[in-house]
Amino acid sequence: MRLQSSAAFWAILASASPLGIDAKRGLRRQLASNECTIMAAEALSVTGGEDPDMILECELDPDDADGISGISVPIEATQEQLNALRGMIESGKVNPGRDRLNTSGAKIDGKGVHFPPGLDIANEVRKNNMEDVGRRRLAVTKGDLKMLLVKVTDVGNLAVADTPTFMSDEVFGTGVDVNNLKSGLEACSWKQLNVVVGNNDPNEVAQGVIEVNIGISLTNNTRSAIRNAVTTAVQTKLGYTLPGPFNYVLYSLQGCYVDCGWAAYAYVNSWNSVYQGNYYKQPGVLIHEIGHNFNLAHSGGLNNSTYTDHTCSMGNPHYSDEGFQCFNPAKNFQLNWYNPAKITEDPRVNGYTKTLTLVGIGEYNLTLNAPIATATSANMIYPVTVKLETGGGADYFVGFNRATGPNYLNDEGDNEVTIIQVDGNDGALLSELFEGKASARTVSQPLQLRWNWKDCYDYSKYD
Ligand SMILES: [Zn+2]
């Protein structure tokens, strides 16, 4: 949808709030549409420490946002209510970017959508099973994926100092930078994902990069107000509602001045990620954020922390411009890049002892080349990820964490077998890295693993 009037646009810029008039008057009103779309953003900490809690917002229908699409405001509720909603998202009961929230009991003002304390927020969720909600693109992980980078300049002329051409190279490798978002995703997916840089739009000042000015300052506005101002400015410049022809759109801000501590944040199962300062240059950070757009959750480690699986880009990423690591077996099962090489084992049916030959994702070509070409049975395909069905809440995913190829910068458990525990849905959740189970192998040699699945049921072993 195009903007209905430029007056609405300027009202928003002037007020530093997506709902400026109400913010000025301090009034709260009901949403006209009585619903908004649940949005969940994950922020990556600058220090590489614990991520903050998942940020919950609601995307307003244009009727509730002066005719503008893509305006997303904080959900204002008690910690208990917010945690209930986070729990539903983490357990896969709510799909952010898609499912809706009934707001008939809520009020909106310049801060966000306020829900009355005590309201059972689970009862307010409206499931939305449509594949394509309006023109919104949900997570797509395969095929040609169009991406756009937006360089933002604020009202005080604050912008990343780099030229658009340099930024295009850093993110998409359109010049000399070999380690970038495009090369990383394409390598990890074994080219099943192809990043298409930009859309040949006349507004692109470098391949895949546009510049916008926002009429508010980065220094004294909230994260949400800034992001809404950028979305509005991009839509005005391009003449269509985001994400438009793009699958993923990245915003680059000069820095963070209010509610900081984040290097970047991204919307889960959606199209947008936002970077501050120099973090847009770091391919590990970019892959982590686009991973959230792909609907991937964080990956916890051996210390029971939510964010310390260093075998996976969804743990702490590399804060540098070096190469990359890919994803852990649970994420590899969730992603659709290795479909012929994903298997499910149910030990209750197939027996508790099994010999399997695994390859790491860095050697997926071992599966794709000779073995498949000459295969006479599916058994000739070496699996890269094995799901162990338990019939209970927790499932396990087993992989060979070969540190080679696109996964060579892997930081933990190199050339060992890793086991990921997932409570709830298939790999969409927090995962837990368990102790490695095999020693290093010669490169280009699949690993034969004899496994007693019963170990996986023995929780006490890992406590
Ligand atoms: Zn994250």
DSSP annotation string for 162-230: S-HHHHHHHHH-SSS--SSHHHHHHHHTTTSEEEEE----TT-SBTTEEEEE-SS-SSSS-HHHHHHHH
Tens-place pLDDT, residues 351-398 = 777 777 778 888 777 665 444 434 444 445 678 888 888 777 677 888
241: pLDDT strictly greater than 90: yes
CA of 290 to the centre of ligand 1 (A): 9
CA of 265 to the centre of ligand 1 (A): 7
Q: Token pair of 163, please?
A: 């030229």
Confidence at 246, pLDDT banded by 50, 70, 90 = very high
CA of 43 to the centre of ligand 1 (A): 5
CA of 256 to the centre of ligand 1 (A): 17
Q: Token pair of 263, please?
A: 């290097």
Q: Picking from 20-34, 293-307, 395-409, 449-463, which range would have the lowest pLDDT averaged per residue? A: 449-463
First-to-last C-alpha distance (Å) of the chain? 53
CA of 50 to the centre of ligand 1 (A): 9
Average pLDDT over residues 220-229: 97
CA of 288 to the centre of ligand 1 (A): 6
Q: Token pair of 315, please?
A: 């743990």
CA of 28 to the centre of ligand 1 (A): 33
Contact 397, 345 (CB under 8 A): no
CATH 3.40.390 domain extents, the chain: 143-297
CA–CA gap between residue 306 and residue 423 (Å, rounded)? 13
Q: What CATH topology corresponds to 143-297?
A: Collagenase (Catalytic Domain) (3.40.390)
Distances (CA, A) of 72 to 12, 173, 396, 425: 13, 31, 36, 27
CA of 307 to the centre of ligand 1 (A): 8
86: pLDDT strictly greater than 80: yes
137: pLDDT strictly greater than 60: no
pTM: 0.87
CB atoms within 10 A of CB 126: 13
Provide the pLDDT for residue 412: 75
Confidence at 116, pLDDT banded by 50, 70, 90 = very high
Name the range with the highest mean pLDDT among 177-186, 297-306, 415-424: 177-186
112: pLDDT strictly greater than 90: yes
Ion ligand 1: residues, CB within 5 A, are: 42, 44
Confidence at 91, pLDDT banded by 50, 70, 90 = confident
Provide the pLDDT for residue 435: 44
Provide the pLDDT for residue 461: 37
Three-class SS state of 6: helix
Mean pLDDT for the chain overall: 81
337: pLDDT strictly greater than 70: yes
Provide the pLDDT for residue 401: 80
Tens-place pLDDT, residues 4-46 = 333 333 334 334 444 543 444 457 888 888 999 999 999 988 8
335: pLDDT strictly greater than 80: yes
Percentage above 90 pLDDT, the chain:
47
CA of 296 to the centre of ligand 1 (A): 9
CA of 326 to the centre of ligand 1 (A): 14
CA of 280 to the centre of ligand 1 (A): 14
Q: Picking from 9-13, 269-273, 339-343, 414-418, which range would have the lowest pLDDT averaged per residue? A: 9-13
CA of 374 to the centre of ligand 1 (A): 41
Pick the closest to residue 292 from 309, 272, 268 (CA basis).
Answer: 268
Average pLDDT over residues 69-95: 93
Confidence at 460, pLDDT banded by 50, 70, 90 = very low
Query: Is the N-terminal amide bond of 245 cis, ω within 30° of 0?
Result: no
CA of 100 to the centre of ligand 1 (A): 23
Average pLDDT over residues 127-146: 72
Query: Greater confidence, 431 or 446?
Result: 446
CA–CA gap between residue 173 and residue 177 (Å, rounded)? 5
Average pLDDT over residues 330-357: 83
Provide the pLDDT for residue 436: 41
